[in-house]
Chains A and B, each alone.
Chain A
Amino acid sequence: MMYLNLFHRSESGEKAAIVRRQQKIVHARGLKTTMFLQYAELFDDVCLAQAIEDRKQFGDEIALGLHKMAGPGMEECVHGNNSFWLFPKNRKREVLARVLERYREVIGESPRSLACYHLDASSNEILRELSPETETVVGGCFEEGVRVYHGCNNSWYLFNEGMPWSPWYPSKTHSLRPAADAADACGLLAVPHLVRDMSLAYEDRDDFWASHPPNVMRGLGNTGSFCPYDLNLVDQYRMQERFNGGMSYYNSFVSAGWLGYNKNIEVPPVVAWELYGKLLDYLARLKADGQLLDLTLSEYGDWFRSNRPLGAVPSEVYWAKEMLYGSGKHYLWYLDPSHRVLVDTDQGGSIGDYRPYVGRVPVATGPDTPHREMGSYPYIIQSQHRTGFSTHHRDGSRTTLYLTRGTETVDLARSRTKCRCLDRGDDATRIVLAPAVVRFEDGVEFSVATTLAFHPGGRILVSRTLSGPPDEVLHCREWFKGAHGFTEYSEDLHDIRLDAGAGPVDFEYLGRSWSGTGAVAAEIPAVHTRIELAPESGRLSCSGVEEGYLFNPYFALYLDYEVRTGETFQTWITSKSTK
Chain B
Amino acid sequence: MDYLEINKVDKRCPVCFSRENDVLLLHDGDGNYWCTHCSFTGTAGEIHASYHDLQKRFHGILRRLTMEDQLKM
Residues of A within 8 A of B (CB): 147, 150-153, 204-205, 218, 220-223, 226, 228-229, 231-232, 235-236, 238-239, 261, 263-268, 321, 323-328
Contact A325 B59 (CB under 8 A): yes
CA distance A222 to B61 in the complex (A): 7
Is the contact region of chain B dominated by helix, strand, or loop, or is it mixed? loop
6 further A-B contacts with Cβ under 8 Å, apart from A150-B21, A228-B65, A236-B67, are A205-B20, A218-B22, A235-B67, A236-B70, A261-B9, A325-B58
Select B71's contact among A223, A239, A326, beta carbons within 8 Å: A239
Select A147's contact among B7, B20, B55, beta carbons within 8 Å: B20
CA distance A42 to B24 in the complex (A): 34
Select A268's contact among B9, B11, B37, B66, beta carbons within 8 Å: B9
Contact B60 A324 (CB under 8 A): yes
CA distance A218 to B57 in the complex (A): 15
Q: B residues 1-18 with Cβ under 8 Å of A?
A: 3-4, 7-12, 16-17
Note all chain A residues with C-beta closer than 8 A to B55: 220, 223
Note all chain B residues with C-beta closer than 8 A to A238: 67
Note all chain B residues with C-beta closer than 8 A to A226: 62
Select A323's contact among B51, B57, B70, beta carbons within 8 Å: B70
Select A325's contact among B12, B57, B67, beta carbons within 8 Å: B57
| Chain A min CB distance to B66 (Å) | 6
CA distance A425 to B71 in the complex (A): 20
Note all chain A residues with C-beta closer than 8 A to B57: 325
Contact A239 B70 (CB under 8 A): yes
**Closest 7 CB pairs between A and B?**
A326-B59, A326-B60, A228-B64, A235-B67, A263-B10, A232-B65, A321-B73
Residues of B within 8 A of A (CB): 3-4, 7-12, 16-17, 20-24, 37, 47-48, 51, 54-55, 57-67, 70-71, 73
Contact B8 A266 (CB under 8 A): no
Contact A152 B22 (CB under 8 A): yes
CA distance A147 to B19 in the complex (A): 11
Contact A231 B70 (CB under 8 A): no
Note all chain B residues with C-beta closer than 8 A to A152: 21-22
Residue of A nearest to B57 (CB): A325
CA distance A265 to B66 in the complex (A): 27
Note all chain B residues with C-beta closer than 8 A to A264: 10, 12, 22
Given contacts A153-B23, A268-B7, contact A229 B70 (CB under 8 A): no
Residue of A nearest to B48 (CB): A266
Note all chain B residues with C-beta closer than 8 A to A327: 59
Residue contacts A-B, CB under 8 angstroms, 26 given: A151-B20, A151-B22, A152-B21, A152-B22, A153-B21, A205-B20, A218-B22, A220-B51, A220-B55, A221-B58, A232-B60, A232-B65, A235-B65, A235-B67, A263-B9, A264-B22, A266-B4, A266-B9, A266-B12, A268-B3, A268-B4, A268-B9, A323-B70, A324-B60, A325-B57, A326-B59
Q: Which of B23, B62, B67 has the most CB of A within 10 A?
A: B67
Contact B63 A263 (CB under 8 A): no
Note all chain A residues with C-beta closer than 8 A to B23: 153
CA distance A153 to B24 in the complex (A): 10
CA distance A268 to B62 in the complex (A): 20
Note all chain B residues with C-beta closer than 8 A to A261: 7-9
Contact A326 B58 (CB under 8 A): yes
Contact A266 B61 (CB under 8 A): no
CA distance A222 to B20 in the complex (A): 16
Note all chain B residues with C-beta closer than 8 A to A265: 9
CA distance A325 to B54 in the complex (A): 12
CA distance A321 to B69 in the complex (A): 11
Select A229's contact among B47, B61, B71, beta carbons within 8 Å: B61
Residue of A nearest to B3 (CB): A268
Q: Which of A220, A222, A231, A265 has the most CB of B within 10 A?
A: A220
Note all chain A residues with C-beta closer than 8 A to B67: 235-236, 238-239
CA distance A541 to B8 in the complex (A): 69
Note all chain A residues with C-beta closer than 8 A to B70: 232, 235-236, 239, 321, 323
Residue of B nearest to A330 (CB): B73
CA distance A125 to B8 in the complex (A): 44
Select B64's contact among A205, A232, A325, beta carbons within 8 Å: A232
| Chain A min CB distance to B41 (Å) | 17
CA distance A266 to B10 in the complex (A): 7
